[in-house]
A and B are shown apart, each in its own frame.
Chain A
C-alpha cells in the first residue's frame, strides 16, 4: 500500500471551505493530547482555553480588543500573499508605526485637541508604510529576498524602540522605568464605553475596503494575476516591481496603524514591549482567513481567542502562557497541510495488484 497525492483536475470548492475547520479540529485534537501529556484533564484544558473566555462580557471585549490589531495587519498581509509578496516583518512595521505615531504626544505632551489623534494615526500609518517600503525597495532594486529582509528589519525596529524608551524618550518623571510618559485625553483613542476602542472600526473598514478592492477592481485583478502567474501579469502589462512596492506600502501602513492604535489605547505609552507578537500571529490570520479580507475578520477573532485562552490557561491551569504560541504554530501547520487537499486528493495505491476501476 502506498499513499499517493494525486492532483485534482479542478480546485475542490468543498475543501476550500472545509480546510480551515478541519485544521481547527486537528489543532483541538492535538491540544487535547498535549494537555493530557501535561497531566491536565484534556476536556477541562480545552474548556478553559477555548470556551471559558467566551462566557463573560469582559473577556469578549478583550477578544475584540486583541482581534483589532490582528485583523488590521492580517488583511494587509492577505493582499500581500495573494500577490506572492512575502512580507514577514509586520511586527517591525507595527513597531515603527507605534514610534512615528508617538512623535507628536512625546514631543508635545500638552497638545490636547482632536487634531493630535489624527496626526498620530496618520503618522503611524505613514511610518509603517515607509518602513515596509525598505524590504520592497531591496527586492525591486537588488532582488534581495523580502522574506529575509522584512524579518530581519523586525529586530532593527524593536531594538530602536528599546533604545528610544531607555534613552532620549524616557519619561523624566518615570522613576527610571524604560517608558515614555503616559498618553492622555485626546492622545488616546476613544472607546465604546468599555475597553473596545475605535481601532476596531478601522479594522472593519479595512476589511470592507480590501474586499471591494479584490473583488471589484482592476487593481485587485492585477494582484491576483501577478501573484499566481507573474509572466501572464507582465503580458497583461502589469508591473511586478510596482506591485511589490504597493503591497509593502499597504501592509506596512496597516501594520503601522495597528501599532499606533495599540499604543494609543491598550498600552497608553511607549515601552520596550508593545505587542505580544501580533505581527507574526497575523501571518496565521491571513492564511486561516483564506487570504480573503472577510475571512480574515473571523480568523482574527479566533487567533485573539488563542491569546486570551493562553492567559486563562496560565491563571487557571498554572501552565506557561507560551502555550498560546504552540497553539498558533500548530494551527498554521495544520492549515497549510489541509490546504493541500484543495488541489490534491489522497489515494491509496497498491504496489503490485492492478486496480480494477478508475479512481474516483
Chain B
C-alpha cells in the first residue's frame, strides 16, 4: 500500500441500496484535515450538523489515518466519527487492535455508511470489495458470540470483526462498537448509530501489507527515532519496564487517589481511601493478571488480560481492566471488588457499551437512591455489585429500569428530575480525574468538543510529570496557565488522532516525531509547526460543527459539584475548580468568543 495516496479510497456504502462506490476524498480535505478524526469530522460537517443522530441521514464514518496499519509504532488505530446520539455534538472515538489496519490492507482508507438497511446486515470487506450480507442469524447476539460466529464462518486467520451488541441494536445512547471481543470505539454512542442503520458488523479479511514510500531509508530512520523514545527507560511506555507497559492504564489508580483527584461516590468525595489499592493496576498484577496482549505495531502492550479465580465470576477470562472502568465502576460506585469490575467490563464488551458512561449512570442512580429520587420500587445501593451486574444486563437490553438508564447519565438524571446529580459535560459523563484535584483536566472536560473527555487534552501528563522531553511538571492545583496548556494538548492530540497514532505515543513522542513520520507518508515536507496548525484547524472545525449544531456560549461548563463543593480529601482539600478563570484564559488563547469560533478565526485557519 502506498502511504502517499491516502484518501483516494473512501468507500461510500449505501445501506438501503446494498451498493458501494469508491470515491477519493477531496484533496483539500486530506491536506487540511489529515485523516481519521479530522477527515471524518469534515465529512460530517458536509452531511450537516442538524441531522437526527439516529436518523438515516446521519452518516457513520470509519476512517483510517495516513499511518494506520503502517510500520509506524502504535499505528493500529482508526476512528469512528458521527453525530452523537448521546451529546448531539460531533463525536469521534478510536479503536486499537488490528481492525483499522486490516481495512487498510484490504484496500480502503475509510468506510462511510449512508442511509439505513431495511433488514440487519453486515459488511464483508476483502481485497478492494465490500459486500452487504444478511445478519439476521446474529442480530440479537452479544459481541462475543458474534465474533465467534464469524470466526467459525470465515476462519480466524487474518480476520477482524467490529460489531455492535444488543445495546447498539436497541439504540442505547452509549452503545459502542467493539472489535475482536474487547477493543472499543467506546465513547459517544456510535454503536447506537450502527443499530439505527441495521448495521450489525464489519468483517474484514486481509493479510498484512507492507507500506510503500518514496524514501524507504528515511521512513526507517524516522520510525526508529520514534521507537527509540518509546523504548527509552525514562518513559512510561518502555516495554516491560515503564509503568504503562507493566501495569496498564490502571497504574494511575493509586496516584489520583493519593492526591485527592479520584472521584468517589459520584464525585461526592475525591478519594477512595484504602479501597483504591484493591482496584489498582498493582493489585490486578499481583492477583488476577494472565497476559499482556497488544495492538498492531505496538511494543508497549498496555492491555491487561485477567482471569477471575474465585467468587461468583470464577473462570471469567477477559480484557482489559483499564483505569477508566476500574474507576467508573469502582470508587465512583463505592465498589472495591475488582472481580465484579472485571465482570461488568466484560458485560460492556459483550453488550457493546461504554463502561465510563455505565459507571456514571449507575453512580448517579445510587446517589438518586440515597437522596430518595429513584422511582418507587427501583433504586440501587452503593457498592451492591450483584445488583450492578444485574442492572448492566438490563441496561444493555433496555429492560425495566435499564430502559431509563440506557439513555445515559444526563438524560436519565433529568428524567428523574435531578439533572444536578449527573456528572457530565455536554451530555457525556466524566472520566476518572476529579477536576478539583487536577485543574487542567477539568478545563479539558469542559471544552472538549465531544462532551466530557480525558483524551482530548491529556494535561494530566504535565500535571503528573510525564510530558515528553524535559517539560517541567505543572502544579495540578494551580489554575493559572492551564488555558494555554489545554489548547496545546488539544491541538497536538487532534493531530495524532488524525494520523491515527495511539494517544499514548504522546508520553514519549513529540510534534517533531509526528511531523517526521507524516512527512514521509505524505511525500512532502511537514514541520512540527504544521502539526500544531493542523491540530488547531481540526479542533476549530469540530467547534464550528458544534456551534452550528446549537452549542453556543455557556456550553463549556462543568457539573456544579466541581465548582461549588470543595474537596474534603488530602491533596486537594478545600479546592474547587476555578473554571471561569481558566475559561477566560482558554478563550483568549483560542481566539474564540465565549466558546463560539468567529468567522475571522475560521478564515485564518482555512476552515470552511
A binds B: no
- B-side residues, CB < 8 A to A, are none
